[in-house]
Amino acid sequence: MDWFWLIGFLALFLLAGAAYYFWQVLAAQTQDDFRAQQPRLRVTNLSAMHAGAILTLMPQLENVGRGVAHDCVLHLGGWEGSFAVKKMYPPGPRSQKHTASLVLGPETPLRVKPQSNGYLRVSYRDQWGLKYDCWYPVTQSPGSQPPFYNIHIDLEHPDINEPTLSFWEMRVLLRKSTLHE
């Protein structure tokens, strides 16, 4: 009688271990499939040009992910205006780098007033309408011309906000995308 209980517990333990293993494999595969369809829009290069009292920043946007980025907007805090692109494709034949021209004149608040929390923000959506944000810190330092500040944008340490979804939400979105294809 004791052997039957021991064999039953051992069988139950083995079944539970196998179910847990297959659940982990399925969850990892779902997460990999979902991440493979997400866009990753980043500022890959930044150049600046001085012309008298006017500073022009030219950040270059590129989609380094695998999904299409929709409704892309680039905004610099302390600068009036934004740069927008309807769609940015992942690396491939339709891929394209976009360069924005941010003209900072002598009256731009970012150049003449100290800012405590400067930022360069890139926001976009994926194919399901989920919102992504990438924030690059912007610092100021006194410039060679007294009323103006020099602008420094740290492209190496962005703060990235991506949606965090549960396993079931990812499965639903992946099924929607396979139905539309």
List pLDDT tens digits, range 68-118.
Answer: 899 999 998 877 778 888 888 888 888 888 888 888 888 888 888 888 888
Domain span at residue 21 reads 2-36
Q: 101 in a domain, yes or no?
A: yes
For residue 42, which of 167, 158, 179 has the smallest C-alpha distance? 158
Q: 179 in a domain, yes or no?
A: no
Q: 170 in a domain, yes or no?
A: no
Say whether both 128 and 74 belong to one domain.
yes
pLDDT given for residue 1 in this prediction:
60
Say whether both 96 and 20 belong to one domain.
no
Say whether both 8 and 88 belong to one domain.
no
Share of the chain above pLDDT 70, in %: 97
pLDDT given for residue 156 in this prediction:
92
Q: 11 in a domain, yes or no?
A: yes
Interatomic CA distance for residues 133 and 119, integer angstroms: 12
DSSP state of 98: E
Say whether both 89 and 21 belong to one domain.
no
Residue 67 has pLDDT above 70, yes or no: yes
Interatomic CA distance for residues 178 and 86, integer angstroms: 23
Number of domains forming the structure of the chain = 2
Confidence of residue 123 (pLDDT cuts 50, 70, 90): very high
Residue 62 CA: distances (Å) to CA of 95, 155, 180: 8, 13, 26
Residue 180 has pLDDT above 60, yes or no: no
Say whether both 82 and 111 belong to one domain.
yes
For Cα atoms 23, 20, 22, give the angle at the middle one, nearest 5 degrees: 40
Say whether both 25 and 103 belong to one domain.
no
Say whether both 138 and 59 belong to one domain.
yes
pLDDT given for residue 78 in this prediction:
75
For residue 116, which of 81, 82, 149 has the smallest C-alpha distance? 149
Residue 44 has pLDDT above 80, yes or no: yes
Say whether both 105 and 22 belong to one domain.
no
pLDDT, averaged across the chain: 86
